[in-house]
Amino acid sequence: MSAPDSAPGRPALPPVREILENALVVALPMRTRFRGITRREAMIFRGPAGWGEFAPFVEYDDEESAAWLAAGIEAAYLGHVPAQRDSVPVNATVPAVAAEQVAEIVARYPGATTAKVKVAEPGQSLSDDVDRVAAARAVIPRVRIDANGKWTVPQAISAIRAIGDVEYAEQPCATVDELALVRRAVDVPIAADESIRKAADPMRVVSADAADIAVLKVAPLGGMRAVIRLSELIGLPVVVSSALDTAVGVAAGVAAAAGLDSLDLACGLGTGSLFTTDVAEPFVPECGVLVPRWFGSTVDLAPEALAAPERTAWWHDRLRRCHDVLSRRGGAAEFVKP
């Protein structure tokens, strides 16, 4: 196995056959339903620099998913980025659970001083959100909320005012224009996530004056180096978050956060506690921080974590299609939209 040959602009792709020969497909059970799923499917594969992850959510199309493959190839073939710090502060992540479950979940993040609370869950009410956030405030000093773009502008304004003081509201509405309207109507800072990672132009949140904070995720943006470069371009305070990654993906997220020139906010990288088992020793916060760690030649994978044969075949086919997308674009490493 060898690193891809260099080409003008970006290295060539490793062959599909080489990736698949060193790949495993997993289905990790989760403690609580999160983002509508109870098992997280992912492909991990080993390269000369360690392990990479390819785990776009199953509903994503190939064009969007190709960036996730670029991120996995970067990790496996180029390795981590140089660190600017030896630890990364992380928030607790609270799914859309009943208020009485919040304290138990926050306790899984020892030393954390910030919690991100999911709100706007389909089938739940605003009073559920208010109660969940209040329960989080009772056990942790700072609370931020994440609506995943599910509110309309009037709903977002009403909900943010009802929920009260939070560190920020992440992606209250779906579009950049809607974020800008909400930002002008409320006193709470607005963070952009999907409006950056799913946008044809991630810089539009800046030109539209639509956000105070940028939430950046390694896999959807094409890799650690892409995140660092975009953080420099976007000029907003940055939070590096997990895309419900396995331990392999979290390693890349922690490396990216550790590689930023400036990091003033807790990152959303403590999501390993959402799984009952992982592909390797999970990243567990101690004193509210994670320490960068890279997975070299081995992972510690429980046999029961392996996906069923039909799902493995599905992921192999998906990787081939996304590899074709990257091939048309000219490469994988340092893939980024700007």
**Binding residue numbers:** 146, 170, 193
* CA–CA dist 246, 235 (Å, integer): 29
Q: Are 48 and 297 in contact (CB under 8 A)?
A: no
Cα–Cα distance measured from residue 249 to residue 184, given in angstroms and rounded to the nearest whole number: 35
118 is catalytic: yes
Ramachandran bin of 180, using left for φ above 0, alpha for ψ from -120 to 50, beta for the remaining angles? alpha
264-297: buried (b, 16+ CB within 10 Å) or exposed (e) per residue? Answer: ebbbbbbbbbbbeebbbebbebeebbbebeebee
Instruction: Tell me which of 116, 118, 150, 198 is the catalytic residue.
Output: 118
Non-local (6+) Cβ contacts of 17 within 8 A are none
Q: At what angle do helices 224-234 and 247-259 cross, to 10 degrees?
A: 40
What's the burial of 195, exposed, middle or buried (CB within 10 Å: 0-12/13-18/19+)? buried
User: CB-based burial of residue 298 (10 Å sphere; 0-12 exposed, 13-18 middle, 19+ buried)?
Assistant: exposed
The answer to whether 217 is a known catalytic residue is yes
From the annotation, which residues make up the binding site for Mg(2+)? 146, 170, 193
**Cβ atoms within 10 Å, residue 8:** 6
| Length in residues, the chain | 338
Active site residues: 118, 217
